[in-house]
Amino acid sequence: MKEQTIETLKKYSQEHLIEYLPYLTEEEQKKLEQQVEAIDFEQLQQLYELAKQEQYMEEKNISHIPYVDKEKLDKQKREELETIGRKIISDGKYAVITMAGGQGTRLGHQGPKGTYCLDTINGPKYLFEITVDTLKRAREEYNVTIPWYIMTSRENHQDTIRFFEEKKYFGYSKSKVKFFTQGELPLISTEGKVILGEDKKIKEAANGNGGIYEAIAISGVLKELQEQQSDWIFINSMDNVLCNFVDPLLLGLTIEQNYKIASKSVAKATPKERAGVFCKMNEKPKVIEYTELPDKMAEERDKNGELVYGELHIMLNLFHCSILEDLANVKLPYHVAFKKSGYLNEKCEYIEPEEPNVYKFEAFIFDAFTRYDDMTILRVKREEEFAPVKNRTGVDSPETATALYNKYYC
Ligand code: UTP
């Protein structure tokens, strides 16, 4: 290892890596060295400090955020807004980015989460295929092939592409589908040390769905969107099997309200539902985690009996292309998760821990909302647009998502 690399390791208290060198082949040593050189240890040190601190919300100037309820729009207004949105789509000024870089740990499926298959009334359906079905329906309805970008992680990139090749893109135009990879950050132990995985490399993991803004800039996707004049970009996740991401109403409403960001929401099922809700904090739009929302606020109702903080963020986000460049340069805050991760001990033996042992750092896509004064929020019906696959069993599982899918398509 180069003297300078060793110095870096010492400076950031990572010299334990040197102890592994005798167990590594020359090739592995070289790869490790390259990895060390690419890691921003200064940033990692700051993240470690963050992980050790107790997480609390610095400012709590929270207030209600206005939203539009789709059900309460009269027919004429709805049609008016949809006409505006339809024109954008059929003029080819619309693109979709699907975030598929997550690890899907709760589902525990081998391989990219989008390759998980549900047994539906329309036959076996992979999660990715359900997204393609929506794109194909839009192709028929608007007579355009919407460009589709899929964000992967380094971990699942090759497997994702292989899957699409194998399935022949489920009949969508291959030339309109592009894959790009998001950034990563090292996992660190409770002592602030990076760890080695079975492959003798420093273990890194995708830096959260908030990594999307930087990733679209670095990968050239943003440039392509600008060149092909995709004015509006919908960013969704692939694990909501009722995800309606080609929605002229949302587009029309956002344009009418003259905002550059929009999201769909569903009403909270109960005040205690474990999901983030929209609010305003210091007058800016924000999604606040259920863990951060004081109980009293979670239960608060307005004069119509509606929860004041009752609009769930469901990962259905629309952006005007013009703001994505700005967002690519923004440093979003990182959130810390404590996770289980296998590692090599000092004798280079692989250990699979029973309990969480590492900090993982993730940025969230919705933390970018606070950069803007306002945004459109369209409340939609849960049974029509929200059926996520998150857990292996129980709530938000393949079973519940399939039941909701079947009910909808019936
Ligand atoms: P989740 O936060 O639900 O994570 O992602 P997940 O990876 O699907 O599942 P768990 O938490 O490990 O069980 C919501 C969406 O954001 C994407 C996911 O692929 C999913 O579409 N995502 C998440 C990324 O693209 N990158 C990330 O780093 C994290």
Q: Per-10-residue mean pLDDT for the chain, 410 residues long?
A: 92 96 95 95 94 67 96 98 98 98 93 98 98 98 98 97 98 98 97 96 96 98 98 98 98 98 96 93 94 89 94 97 95 92 95 96 96 98 97 97 97
DSSP H helices, 317-373, are 321-328
Distance of CA 109 to the CA centre of its chain: 18
- Euclidean distance between CA atoms 197 and 354, whole angstroms: 16
Measured CA to CA, the distance from residue 401 to residue 66 in angstroms comes to 29
Query: 69 φ, ψ to 5°?
Result: -90, 120
CB within 8 Å of 159: residues ≥ 6 apart: 111, 112, 115
The alpha carbon of 170 and the centre of ligand 1 are apart by a number of angstroms equal to 23
Q: What is the reported pTM?
A: 0.95
- Residue 375 in contact with ligand 1 by CB distance below 6 A: no
Centre of ligand 1 to C-alpha 207, Å, is 10
pLDDT value of position 335: 92
Nearest one of 200, 152, 139 to 179, comparing CA atoms: 152
Pick the residue whose CA is nearest to atom 28 on ligand 1.
208
Q: What is the DSSP letter of 278?
A: E
Please choose, from the candidates 313, 317, 239, the residue with its C-alpha nearest in 3D space to the C-alpha of residue 276. 313
Q: Are strands 311-320 and 232-237 parallel, antiparallel or unpaired?
A: antiparallel
Q: Which residue owns the Cα nearest ligand 1 atom 5?
A: 102
Q: Please give the backbone phi and psi of residue 282, each rounded to the nearest 5 degrees, phi first.
A: 50, 40
Asked if residue 359 lies in contact with residue 338, where contact means CB atoms within 8 angstroms, the answer is yes
371/77 Cα distance (integer angstroms)? 30
Pocket lining: 208 vs ligand 1, CB cutoff 6 Å = yes
8: left (phi over 0), alpha (psi -120 to 50) or beta: alpha
Tokens 């020359």 correspond to 26
- Burial pattern 83-118, b for ≥16 Cβ within 10 A else e, equals ebbbebbeebbbbbbbbbbbbbeebebeebbbbbeb
Distance 99 CA to ligand 1 centre (A): 8
Which residue, judged by its Cα, is nearest atom 21 of ligand 1? Answer: 237
CA 98-103-104 angle, to 5 degrees, is 85
Answer whether 209 contacts ligand 1 (Cβ < 6 A).
yes
* Ligand 1 pocket check for 237: Cβ under 6 Å: yes
Q: State whether the beta carbon of 132 lies less than 6 angstroms from ligand 1.
A: no
Token pair in block for residue 21? 């060198």
CB neighbours of 238 closer than 8 A, spacing ≥ 6?
98, 99, 100, 113, 114, 127, 128, 130, 131
Closest ligand 1 atom to residue 391 Cα is 13
The atom of ligand 1 lying closest to the CA of 152 is 25
- Report in angstroms the alpha-carbon separations of 85 from 29, 222, 239: 55, 22, 25
Hey, which of 96, 97, 98, 99 would you mutate to test ligand 1's pocket, going by the most ligand atoms within 8 Å of its Cβ?
99
Element (H, E) at 10: helix 3-11
For the record, the structure tokens of 87 come out as 């024109």
Cβ neighbour number for residue 6 with a 10 Å cutoff: 15
| Ligand 1 pocket member 339 (CB < 6 A) | no
Please tell me the distance from the alpha carbon of residue 311 to that of residue 401, in angstroms, as a whole number. Answer: 20
**Which of 115, 237, 358, 393 should be mutated for ligand 1, with most atoms under 8 A from CB?**
237
Ligand 1 centroid – CA 308 distance (Å): 27
CB of 105 shorter than 6 A to ligand 1: yes
Helices (H), 75-220: 75-90, 127-142, 157-166, 212-218
Which of 96, 103, 128, 149 is the best mutation target for the ligand 1 pocket, counting ligand atoms within 8 Å of the beta carbon and taking the most?
103
Q: Using CA atoms, how far apart are residues 410 and 404, in angstroms rounded to an integer? A: 10
Cα-to-centroid distance, 127 and ligand 1 (Å): 13
Which element (helix H / strand E) includes 314?
Answer: strand 311-320
3-state helix, strand, coil in the chain (%, to 5): 40, 25, 40
Q: Which residue lies with its CA nearest to atom 9 of ligand 1?
A: 104
The rounded Å distance from CA 160 to ligand 1 centre is 15
How far is ligand 1, taken at its centre, from the CA of residue 118, in Å?
18
